[in-house]
């Protein structure tokens, strides 16, 4: 509503005061400080240094005698010289400025509407207690008056105020900065008001110490103040650290057209005339930013203003329709833009335009088009209920797939004794791997078939089929040896069988592709980034193909969006974003977000000595390749199966030993013991293998698939498949050893990594970096951050060391490439990539090094985090231990009773029971267990998340780290299983998130759910990270994260607290805005995210055929008959030339048709011509009747010829004769529009576009007709 939009515009900063007992900060004999904020009439406004710091005194609630002092200094509170103990208290308040005054006026105009009233100190005056009391009295009086009652005596003023105070003259605050000062003065004022930074014009941006949140706030304020958009004033201007504020002011002046002189619109200008007309009607001058809805225009006022504008600018109704005033999002400035454009387009000799009539096809300016509201797909209630049932059924299919894959291996094991089963472990592994692939291929082609480009409803039948296949693929690549077969010919063969068009010698990592049918990769290409040919927006799944040429290299974590085409020999750097419908030309290199062509910053010469001129992915020596394949097979199907068998036997006997002594209850209490012991032995074996096979890993390059590469593969497999898997299992059962960060750090160091004990690293950082990564003291690595010391270049495996100094920050989803050194105090901002060394105090933003840190310059307190993380890990481990023990005990007791009843079942049934039990455990029992853990941890350990600044050395940080500890469990066991279903949104609602209706989540990462607000019809894409908290060097800041209605985020996008994604906004994959950015309507991408254009409106999908059958049962039966008849007709008529010469003439029909219907139009994709002037034109109804056999002619056979022979149309045109909806009639049957209709639109003077809309959806395929005669 309008009130909601007004309330969101109030600036509500979070401030902090210091509570202490240092008497030096207060003068008990003077109250002067209390009056400096409110100067006398005529006195100059006080300086900030005169009013802050301000200290007030209170008495302790404990003894009512001990003095307690409260010092307010806003952002400088940390630097105050206060002796003795102190505490920080944060609070949120409304900022008082001219903008707040305007918002108050707009809000009070709607006082009482829908029985809603607004009161409080924030709503009037200077936010004093007296202001709150007066506002409450006014509201109470209004309520009593609305009920035809007199205000009761206690609410009436005892002394009436003078009339000039009761009804002061309304203040109209000037929007133009030049009317209150120059642009430079206004910029300095914004710096002081928003960031408490008192600078001068000579100061450079880099010298101000702006944090990313400060940049987002200042940028937004300047845009609002000078009416700028992201194209004319991008946020990246603040990354030019050598730019002075004076230069910035000059840039703003040029972008906005504001000068130091008065900017009052000259007489006769568009702005002046429009403002004068509004002032005449309203009695006040509106602001260009005021929306038309906020002016509360009555219908009479709208008609009067519209008529005056038409007369003044001599415009026609077609170019400025009165409906323009009904768009609540249009502002006065937008209206001026429309008038400017249509006045220029019209011809004539008048001052503002001409007397001529604008063409009917004139469109609105881009600013209005960009603000058009997206149309969401809302299924009928019956369809929605069926979709929920379909989702529940779909959740069972992955469990069935796992059971079917395990059953052959289980049958082989059950047929022999366990001693022989151990000996046959390689055979069992091969059988299991083969069955996983075979069942997956059958599942894909039976359930889904070939996936084609187009549009389908979220959780329609096609969406459900795609979701099932995707879930089965994830199960295969997670719980089978296929997980470790990236880069092998076997993986490529499997992907080809699943529908991927993969060239010879091309490789795609299994976690880089979901929709195989829509991806084409040429010979010799290597894909390590994610190929995303799909997009979910406003309830619609859109699919478009991706094509990658030959000899391309797509590095780790890059993203290729739908519709993109990559030519031959293209290199896409890590974390690079290739936005939808992009085309990358041959032989180029790309990096950045969005992708920009690379020239100097990052070349192969810098990464590897002597780059080859040959294509990037030359085939290595055949002998080495065969030896590497042999090593891979031996590792996967000999070494690993025997080692896994030994681990299973060990954990079985340890568990059996505990069970024999203590029973199921004792095993439940000590279930972590056998898992921990097994994990410790697997870790020890992995460390020994590393020491023996690799020794100390140093920088260098080795032949690809050579001896070192083969040895590294073996060690990598042992670490990933055994060491880390058992550590994860130990964590899931609450092992006090596995949850300890000290033990994890010890394992990291044992593998060769160097990391100081007071550094905090993300669990996503690869354990296979070995000796190549050296992490200094007080480092912080955010979630999803990666260090990438390994790369393959030409025919070499290249290793480059990564070193960090002290006090280094690497943000969320950031990457550090091999050979990079991060010096002391360096920062790699979130979603950024460090390609080159980062000097002391520098920051990497995107791919560029800037000279100032965006995380502040305060003293780091990361060292104190290690103890709190250790405590949080053990605290969460206790809860996990309790839940895991209860689960094991209950399941064990139930299994014992169950087995007692089925002990006499045939031996052939046992493998099926075992397989079903494993499938149900992985996809039903474990997700429920993890969901229970998350809910219990939320409400027992974490509680309600609070907003504001959280000191890093406070006890609340333990609760914060405890919540983050459960993140990996939630992501791997809950989101991975139920992601994309209504159960995911229901789960987060249970955790406290505010989520609207028809919202789609797809395996997202969400922290502090109770600080998230998501509007209706929004879609949060795959692996999107929603993090209401932000961790800095000294504190954690938490704030509400708002996502509006009909919004969309792409793959792996990131949003933080204080970010606002407004209605109809889209954030592309791999993108992240500066924290605190308001992302307005439109498509945003990159880091920092910038607006790139309007959003894409997907086509509306068809309703299900069964639903149409329920609505129109008789017509559906007739339609089925015609479908069969037309199919047979296509077989008969589609193979030879058709000649539609039986043209039925209507009396005076040709002469009565509009002129632009005349002529012959030829289809661009079919051998058919049409003539609209052969139809009967009904001018009064604006209808064109095209009878059977009168409108089309074909020179040869084509698919659809039978339709043209038997179908006729009745086209109903709009007022401009530019668009039409046509009803179809087949013989005597008038086809209901809900089944099929024809949509026609005029593209230009010589062309039409037509397409059939089936089942109330938009046309999926359209035919373009060009005029030939």
For the chain, give the percent of residues with pLDDT over 90: 20
Strand partners, 1163: 1265
How far is residue 416's CA from residue 1231's CA, in Å, rounded to a whole number? 65
- Does residue 594 have a cis peptide bond before it, meaning omega lies within 30 degrees of 0? yes
Predicted confidence at residue 1259, as pLDDT, reads: 78
CA 532, CA 548: separation in Å to the nearest integer?
A: 12
Q: Is the pLDDT of residue 1192 over 90?
A: no
Distance CA 185, CA 376 (A): 45
Q: For residues 1269 and 1265, what is the distance between their CA atoms, to the nearest angstrom? A: 12
Closest CA to 572 of 847, 240, 379: 847
**For residue 531, what pLDDT band results from cuts at 50, 70 and 90?**
very high
Neighbours of 442 (CB within 10 A): 12
| Contacts for 1186 with CB less than 8 Å, ≥ 6 apart | 1172, 1174, 1175, 1208, 1209, 1210, 1211, 1222
Residue 504 has pLDDT above 60, yes or no: yes
Segments in 19-157 forming alpha helices (H): 48-51, 98-109, 129-146
Burial class (CB in 10 A: 0-12, 13-18, 19+), 1020: buried
DSSP 3-state of 714 = helix
pLDDT recorded at residue 610: 35
Paired tokens of 1088: 């920092």
Pairing assessment for the beta strands 1054-1056 and 1078-1079 based on DSSP bridges: unpaired
Higher pLDDT pick, 172 / 886: 886
Distance of alpha carbon 768 from alpha carbon 770, whole angstroms: 5
- Cβ(908)–Cβ(947) below 8 Å: no
Chain centroid offset of residue 1202 CA: 46
- Whether 442 has a pLDDT exceeding 90, the answer reads yes
Please report the pLDDT score of residue 733 as a whole number: 82
Instruction: Give the DSSP per-residue string, 613-645.
Output: SS-TT----HHHHHHHHHHHHHIIIIIHHHHHH
Residue 860 has pLDDT above 80, yes or no: no
Calpha distance 832→1072 (Å, rounded):
10
For 471, 536, 999, 1169, the CA distances from 1002, given in Å and listed in that order, are: 12, 9, 10, 46
Strand-pairing partners, residue 88, are 18
110: CB partners within 8 A, 6+ apart: 2, 3, 116, 296
pTM score: 0.77
Q: pLDDT tens digits for 948-1007? A: 777 766 677 777 777 777 777 888 888 889 999 999 999 999 999 999 999 999 999 998
* pLDDT tens readout for residues 203-227: 888 777 777 777 877 887 888 777 7
Pairing of strands 1041-1043, 1078-1079: unpaired
Residue 79 Rama label (left phi>0; alpha psi -120 to 50; beta): alpha
Which contacts (CB < 8 Å, 24+ apart) does range 441-448 have? Answer: 441/494, 441/497, 441/498, 443/397, 443/401, 443/468, 443/469, 443/472, 444/469, 444/472, 444/498, 444/499, 444/516, 447/397
Task: Name the most confidently modeled range: 264-273, 317-326, 635-644, 756-765.
Answer: 635-644
Q: Which runs of E-coded beta strand occur in 1080-1131?
A: 1082-1085, 1090-1093
| Residue 727 DSSP class | H
Q: Band of the pLDDT at 851, cuts 50, 70, 90?
A: low
Q: What would the mean pLDDT of 1175-1196 be, rounded to a whole number?
A: 79
pLDDT-derived band at 599 (thresholds 50, 70, 90) equals low
Give me the half-sphere count of Cα atoms (radius 13 Å) on the Cβ side of residue 228.
Answer: 23
Residue 350 has pLDDT above 60, yes or no: no
Mean pLDDT, rounded, of the chain = 78
pLDDT the model gives residue 348: 41
> Cβ(1200)–Cβ(1163) under 8 Å?
no
Helix boundaries (H) for 115-243: 129-146, 163-166, 183-195, 212-226
Q: Of 1181, 1159, 1188, which Cα lies nearest the Cα of 1172?
A: 1159
Burial 156-169 (b: 16+ CB within 10 A, else e): eeeeeeeeeeeeee
3-class SS letters over 761-778:
CCCCCCHHHHHHEEECCC
What radius of gyration, in Å, describes the C-alpha atoms of the chain? 35
Structure tokens at 1064: 């109809």
Could you tell me the two tokens for 847?
């791919």
Question: Could you tell me if residue 735 is left (phi over 0), alpha (psi between -120 and 50 degrees) or otherwise beta?
Answer: beta
Euclidean distance between CA atoms 554 and 575, whole angstroms: 10
C-alpha to C-alpha distance for 561 and 582, rounded to whole angstroms = 8
Paired with 531 in beta bridges are: 513, 560
């Amino acid at each position: 509503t309008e009130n909601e939009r007004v309330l969101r515009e109030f600036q509500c900063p979070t401030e902090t005061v210091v509570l202490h007992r240092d008497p030096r900060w207060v003068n008990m004999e003077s109250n002067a400080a209390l009056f400096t904020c409110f100067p006398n009439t005529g006195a100059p406004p006080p300086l900030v240094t005169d009013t802050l710091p301000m200290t007030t005194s209170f008495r302790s609630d404990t003894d009512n005698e001990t003095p307690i002092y409260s010092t307010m200094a806003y952002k400088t509170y940390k630097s105050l010289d206060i002796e003795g103990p102190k505490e920080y208290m944060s609070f949120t308040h409304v900022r008082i400025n001219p903008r707040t005054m305007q918002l108050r006026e707009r809000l009070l105009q709607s006082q009482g509407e829908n029985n809603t009233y607004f009161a409080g100190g924030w709503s009037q005056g200077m936010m004093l207690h007296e202001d709150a009391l007066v506002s409450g009295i006014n509201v109470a009086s209004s309520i009593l008056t609305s009920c035809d009652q007199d205000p009761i005596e206690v609410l009436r003023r005892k002394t009436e105020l003078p009339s000039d105070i009761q009804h002061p003259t309304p203040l109209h605050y000037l929007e133009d900065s030049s009317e209150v000062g120059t642009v430079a003065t206004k910029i300095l004022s914004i710096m002081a008001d928003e960031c408490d930074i008192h600078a001068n014009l000579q100061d450079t941006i880099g010298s101000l110490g702006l944090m990313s949140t400060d940049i987002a706030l200042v940028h937004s304020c300047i845009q609002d103040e000078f009416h700028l958009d992201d194209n004319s004033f991008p946020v990246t201007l603040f990354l030019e650290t050598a730019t002075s504020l004076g230069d910035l002011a000059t840039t703003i002046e040029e972008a906005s057209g504001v000068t130091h002189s008065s900017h009052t619109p000259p007489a006769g200008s568009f702005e002046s005339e429009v403002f004068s007309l509004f002032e005449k009607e309203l009695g006040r001058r509106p602001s260009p930013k005021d929306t038309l809805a906020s002016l509360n225009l009555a219908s009479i006022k709208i008609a009067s203003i519209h008529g005056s504008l038409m007369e003044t600018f001599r415009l026609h109704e077609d170019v400025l329709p009165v409906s323009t005033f009904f768009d609540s999002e249009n502002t006065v400035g937008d209206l001026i833009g429309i008038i400017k454009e249509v006045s220029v387009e019209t011809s004539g000799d008048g001052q503002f335009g001409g007397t001529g009539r604008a063409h009917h096809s004139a469109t609105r300016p881009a600013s209005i088009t960009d603000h058009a509201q997206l149309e969401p797909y809302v299924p009928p209630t019956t369809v929605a209920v069926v979709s929920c049932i379909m989702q529940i059924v779909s959740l069972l299919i992955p469990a069935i797939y796992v059971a079917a894959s395990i059953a052959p291996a289980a049958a082989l094991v059950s047929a022999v004794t366990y001693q022989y089963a151990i000996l046959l472990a390689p055979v069992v592994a091969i059988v299991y791997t083969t069955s996983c692939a075979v069942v997956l291929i059958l599942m894909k082609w039976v359930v889904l078939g070939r996936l084609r480009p187009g549009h389908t409803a979220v959780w329609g039948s096609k969406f459900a089929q795609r979701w099932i296949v995707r879930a089965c693929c994830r199960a295969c690549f997670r719980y089978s040896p296929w997980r470790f077969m990236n880069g092998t010919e076997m993986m490529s063969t499997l992907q080809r069988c699943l529908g991927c068009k993969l060239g010879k010698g091309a490789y795609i990592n299994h976690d880089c592709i979901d929709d195989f049918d829509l991806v084409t990769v040429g010979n010799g290409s290597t894909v390590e980034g994610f190929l995303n040919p799909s997009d979910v927006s406003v309830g619609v799944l859109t699919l478009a193909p991706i094509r990658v040429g030959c000899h391309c290299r797509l590095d780790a974590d890059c993203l290729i969006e739908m519709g993109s085409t990559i030519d031959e020999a293209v290199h896409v750097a890590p974390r690079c974003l290739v936005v939808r419908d992009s085309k990358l030309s041959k032989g180029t290199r790309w990096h950045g977000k969005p992708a920009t062509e690379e020239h100097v910053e990052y070349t192969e010469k810098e990464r590897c000595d002597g780059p080859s001129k040959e294509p990037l992915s030359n085939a290595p020596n055949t002998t080495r390749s065969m030896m590497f394949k042999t090593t891979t097979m031996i590792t996967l199907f000999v070494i690993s199966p025997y080692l896994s068998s030994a681990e299973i036997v060990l954990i079985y006997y340890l568990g059996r030993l505990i069970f024999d002594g203590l029973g199921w209850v004792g095993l439940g209490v000590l279930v972590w013991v056998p898992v921990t012991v097994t994990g410790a032995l697997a870790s020890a074996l992995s460390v020994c293998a590393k020491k023996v096979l690799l020794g100390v890993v140093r920088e260098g390059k080795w032949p690809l698939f050579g001896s070192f590469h083969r040895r590294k593969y073996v060690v990598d497999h042992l670490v990933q498949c055994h060491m880390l898997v058992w550590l994860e299992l130990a964590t899931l059962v609450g092992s006090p050893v596995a949850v300890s960060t000290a033990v994890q750090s010890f394992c990291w160091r044992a593998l060769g990594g160097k990391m100081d004990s007071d550094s905090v690293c993300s669990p996503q950082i690869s354990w296979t970096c070995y000796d190549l990564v050296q992490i200094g003291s007080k480092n912080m690595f955010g979630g999803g951050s990666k260090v990438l010391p390994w790369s393959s270049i030409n025919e070499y495996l290249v290793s480059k060391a990564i070193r960090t100094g002290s006090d280094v920050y690497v943000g969320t989803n950031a990457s550090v490439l091999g050979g990079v050194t991060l010096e002391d105090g360096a920062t790699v901002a979130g979603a950024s990539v460090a390609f080159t060394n980062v000097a002391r105090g520098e920051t990497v933003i995107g791919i560029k090094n800037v000279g100032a840190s965006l995380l502040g310059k305060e003293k780091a307190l990361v060292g104190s985090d290690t103890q709190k993380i250790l405590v949080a890990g053990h605290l969460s481990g206790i809860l996990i231990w309790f839940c895991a023990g209860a689960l094991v005990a209950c399941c064990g007791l139930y299994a014992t009773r169950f087995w007692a009843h089925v002990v006499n079942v045939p031996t052939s049934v046992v493998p099926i029971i075992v397989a079903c039990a494993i499938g149900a455990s992985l996809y039903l029992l474990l997700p429920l267990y993890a969901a229970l853990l998350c809910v219990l941890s939320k409400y027992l350990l974490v509680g309600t998340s609070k907003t504001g600044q959280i000191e890093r050395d406070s006890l609340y940080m333990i609760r914060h780290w405890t919540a983050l500890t459960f993140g990996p469990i939630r992501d791997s066991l809950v989101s991975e299983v139920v992601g994309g279903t209504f159960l995911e949104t229901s789960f987060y609602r249970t955790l406290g998130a505010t989520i609207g209706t028809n919202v789609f989540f797809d395996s997202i990462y969400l922290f502090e759910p109770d600080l998230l607000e998501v509007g209706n019809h929004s879609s949060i894409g795959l692996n999107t990270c929603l993090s209401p908290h932000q961790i800095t060097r000294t504190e954690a800041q938490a704030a509400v994260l708002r996502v509006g209605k009909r919004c969309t985020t792409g793959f792996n996008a990131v949003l933080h607290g204080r970010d606002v994604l407004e209605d109809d906004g889209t954030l592309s994959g791999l993108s992240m805005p500066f924290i605190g950015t308001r992302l307005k309507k439109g498509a945003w991408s990159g880091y920092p995210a910038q607006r790139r254009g309007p959003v894409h409106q997907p086509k509306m999908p068809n309703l299900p055929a069964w639903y149409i059958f329920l609505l129109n049962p008789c017509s559906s039966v007739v339609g089925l008959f015609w479908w069969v008849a037309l199919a047979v007709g296509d077989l008969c008529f589609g193979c030879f030339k058709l000649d539609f010469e039986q043209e039925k003439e209507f009396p005076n029909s040709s002469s009565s048709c509009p002129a632009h219907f005349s002529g012959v139009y030829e289809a661009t994709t079919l051998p058919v011509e049409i003539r609209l002037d052969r139809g009967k034109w009904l001018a009064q109804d604006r209808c064109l009747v095209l009878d059977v056999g009168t409108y089309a002619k074909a020179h040869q056979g084509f698919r659809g010829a039978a339709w043209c022979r038997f179908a006729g149309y009745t086209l109903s045109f709009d007022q401009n004769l530019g668009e039409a909806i046509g009803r179809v009639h087949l013989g005597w049957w008038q086809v209901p529009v809900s089944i099929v209709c024809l949509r026609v639109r005029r593209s230009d003077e010589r062309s039409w576009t037509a397409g059939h809309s089936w089942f109330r959806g938009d046309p999926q395929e359209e035919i373009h007709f060009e005029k030939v005669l």
